[in-house]
Amino acid sequence: MKIICIGRNYVEHAKELNNPVPTVPVIFMKPDTAILKDNKPFYHPDFSTDIHHEIEIVLKVCKEGKHIAEKFAANYYDEIGLGVDFTARDIQQKHKEKGLPWELAKAFDQSAPVSNFIPKSQFSDVYKLDFRLDVNGQTAQKGSTANLIFSFENVIAFVSQYVTLKKGDLIFTGTPEGVGKINIGDRLTAYLGNEKLLDFEIK
């Protein structure tokens, strides 16, 4: 499986990092070795001193597809969860300055903690999902899918023009504002609506 991530999909987050608001989705990927499940602790690597949390809605792809039309795109994911797109901001910044790819800042081991997934059918409107990340009990990030720049269907249609989607692939759909540095000893908890889906420690 693969993990496809959307960068800058919420206006306020693009602004907080002084990035332009995109007119087409910004795409990058993480390998399957980035997955961290079952609320296992994240072990802070020593190659970065500025790893940021980015809480995101994650879609699970349920069937193979390429060149998917936007009007059928909703049929290609059937479960929704939460994930954290850990980002080594110091490494990313250096690569951005040189115009180089971001992989080292985004694709490292354990850089994609994911929750359990909930069937899409349990949500009356996937564009009215509130989610948040608390760090040590204080809310750091709060988002709503009502504020997405690119809809889930839009993202699926766009990505599948280039990359075939397969059952089990995950799509990280972008983070709202409030990204920030994590520290050893922090406890991260994340909620989709009122349901706690992530609860893990930084070690």
Footprint of Zn ion on this chain (CB under 5 A)? 54, 85, 175
Nearer to Zn ion, 10 or 200 (CB): 10
Nearer to Zn ion, 85 or 153 (CB): 85
Nearer to Zn ion, 64 or 93 (CB): 93
CA gap 119, 114 in Å, rounded: 15
Shortest Å distance, C-beta 149 to Zn ion: 13
The answer to whether 173 touches 57, Cβ cutoff 8 Å, is yes
Nearer to Zn ion, 26 or 163 (CB): 26
| Position 55, amino acid | I
Closest to 174 in 3D by CA, of 4, 6, 2: 6
The answer to whether 120 touches 126, Cβ cutoff 8 Å, is yes
Shortest Å distance, C-beta 106 to Zn ion: 8
The 77-84 sheet, strands edge to edge: 26-30, 3-7, 170-172, 55-61, 77-84, 118-119
Shortest Å distance, C-beta 36 to Zn ion: 15
Shortest Å distance, C-beta 105 to Zn ion: 11
